[in-house]
Homo-oligomer: A and B are copies of this chain.
């Protein structure tokens, strides 16, 4: 077998993506497979069926992470691992996460079909609860596996309706028996859509990120005073929503004020009592700051925090700030990034060295083993929405890069 000429089946990959997209399909053409919901269970069941058909050695750990291992000629060597996640955003897209899982599956199918064996085992993985929208924070399965998060702390996380993570894991039948604990891994690859507009804008097929930006999440709580909107004079009002509005503009201005090199977003807001003729008494909103430069992001936050405190004081609305989550930027392994770049070049695709603005399970994995990622373009840069889309030829191109990266790495001894 000429390994150089080896290619995945773009058609088979497409069909796997389409079959997955029917599980939790939304009217708007996207999918909704929230972590540990019924649709997540259905997609997991289908995935496990497919792993069984490939005769992989299947293990589900106590966090519900699913592993399928294809033995290598030298069984004792740590495996090459590749995968992503199955869960989606509410009314999310058909590519985020699942492309990396189906891409790896397609790699394994291609190897099987061509009777190609490798020196090292190859492990495909589907990490539990990556999105962080039903249960916060994000990347729970890989977080516990790599030792960054505590299993029992995650078990006790609840969704908005108060359901516990562990109870939901048991309910869908995916609380496995294998300990959720890192094992030696030769290297980890994660294939994903870009989720931004840069590759499309630059007309490149493959993105090769050198790492993931740092991620800083904050929760802001403001306390105002509810009163009837009509008879309450403007002077003396303590309006929590007006106070929040001034802060939201500050968040939006932050990147420019810091000379770029970061993005800052308020994605979520709750207002109480949220009645049109009552002055808002309480507001909660979130702040998301991302930068490759961790110190730059912290400096930005310090500025913002000062602004918030000044605004809260001047508008008479006491503020409570929670520093919810902070993940340092995750530089990938230079040799693995180079290997990806070499594979892209030998396959003849155009590519762009870049940075990932989105968090991925690869962020935690990069702490425990050499890690790299492969990106393909998101049409219009759209992601986390139902119209999220990637051209099928790009999906196949990314899978070919993954195929060659995996085979090369699995033959390193």
Contact = CB atoms under 8 A, between A and B. Distances in A.
Contact of A227 (B133, B236, B255, B382): B382
A229 interface: yes
Contacts of A120: none
Copy number in the complex reads: 2
A40 B196 CA distance: 51
A67 to B, nearest CB: 27
A5 interface: no
A274 interface: yes
A381 B226 CA distance: 10
Contact of A274 (B228, B267, B276, B280): B267
Contacts of A277: 132-133, 138, 265, 267, 288, 358, 384
A59 B271 CA distance: 41
Among A228, A232, A244, A357, the one with the most B-chain Cβ atoms within 10 Å of its Cβ is A228
Nearest to A269: B271
A228 B384 contact: yes
A184 interface: no
Contact of A236 (B132, B197, B267): B197
Given A89-B273, A273-B384, 4 more contacts: A196-B233, A266-B280, A267-B276, A281-B385
Interface of A: 89-91, 132-133, 136, 138, 194-198, 213, 215, 217, 225-234, 236, 239, 241-242, 244-246, 248-249, 252, 255-256, 263-269, 271, 273-281, 286, 288, 290, 356-359, 381-385
3 tightest CB-CB pairs across the interface, nearest first? Answer: A196-B231, A230-B357, A231-B357
19 contacts: A133-B277, A138-B277, A196-B233, A197-B233, A213-B230, A226-B382, A227-B385, A228-B383, A229-B267, A230-B358, A230-B359, A234-B263, A239-B252, A241-B266, A242-B266, A245-B246, A246-B249, A276-B288, A277-B288
